Structure 1
């Protein structure tokens, strides 16, 4: 049996894991709740999730793919929940609102382009556009690399989301190989590489969040 014989299995597994990845943000929210604050946490994965969800939903509508539409509506909804939760716990609400406004402005700009673009060319060009945005979103935590190296601390990185992202990218890469879809292969090779780089930071600079929580409890 060749890889093609496992197409449906791999595709289904990848879809299920993608849904599970969306729930991985709950683990980040749990950590924020336990610490009582979102201070030191990067909101970009959550805020960017809303923007990316909107862009992916447009792509799903262009493809008229019911499954993709459902997944992205769900993803957009849960991302909104994450941002609201983050807003409630962050001490720097003004900065979060500023970040959210920036992401929404960029997203609206892209949606305006979609409205003005030639319908015959839109699907392909929109696919390229969201690929670039996806790479930026996946690699966003690396923008904090200088701070991570300086403090030797990875608390700012959303480990559950990165770990799940690695698993999902691996599965979609395999699916792309089965389909011999070079566009999908390229997306997931780059995405997987970015995720692995981020995971390696947890090995080099372990998180100190649990230690800090234990120390604070002892003081109390």
Structure 2
């Protein structure tokens, strides 16, 4: 029964992971064999996320392109270093532990990225910048992979995705609290940037609210 539940949560994790690619990278075959579910979602996720980055680089302003290219260079350098060290310097269990720790750290950082948006939601009392379905799939993906890792006794999957499941839960709670509130509206400033101001009822032509 435990094996069936393990497989079911793995399949659900793949389905939800297609919408949010958060599976840890140490599932690659040369690191951790017999881990087909984790490998497939990572390959799919890496391909689609690469397309997202490419689209952003093509359509973004020149200044933003520079920032993203710099960040992308750093990320690729770190990934290359982890891959080279794990492949050439480590073997067997040491390779699995090294890649598992690296993947867990990156997964937690990735899950923690919406924290600034959650702070904005609380400050503005508006969920405009935190789409419901994104929060929902953070929760579903994190929960499915957490249970998959838990049932498979794999801490490198269970721990970061348990963290993601908790953050997804908090996002859904915030959405439930603030989704019907007007909060703050955006007001363009003179220099073209966006400022926030409290939403105010508009006055009619005779001056009454």
Normalized against structure 2, the TM-score is what?
0.66
Q: Does 1:95 align with 2:67?
A: yes
From 118, 135, 141, give the equivalent of 1:162.
Answer: 135
Partner of 1:113: 85
Tell me how far apart the structure 2 counterparts of residues 80 and 170 of structure 1 sit (CA, whole Å).
25
Q: Does 1:13 align with 2:12?
A: yes
Partner of 1:41: none
Tell me how far apart the structure 2 counterparts of residues 16 and 175 of structure 1 sit (CA, whole Å).
13
Determine which structure has greater relative contact order: mean sequence separation of CA pairs < 8 Å that are 6+ residues apart, divided by chain length.
1
Partner of 2:32: 63
Q: Which has the larger radius of gyration?
A: 2
What is the SS of the residue equivalent to 1:63? coil
From 124, 131, 134, give the equivalent of 2:107.
Answer: 134
Change (3 A) 1:87 1:67: same
Change (3 A) 1:70 1:63: same
Aligned residue pair count: 179
Tell me how far apart the structure 2 counterparts of residues 199 and 103 of structure 1 sit (CA, whole Å).
29
What is the SS of the residue equivalent to 1:131? helix
Unpaired runs of 5+ residues, structure 1, are 23-48, 213-220
From 75, 79, 85, give the equivalent of 2:45.
Answer: 75
Unpaired runs of 5+ residues, structure 2, are 187-209
Displacement of 1:150 after TM fit?
Answer: 4.1
Q: Which has the higher helix share?
A: 1
Change (3 A) 1:164 1:129: same
Tell me how far apart the structure 2 counterparts of residues 84 and 126 of structure 1 sit (CA, whole Å).
26
Q: Which has the higher strand share?
A: 2
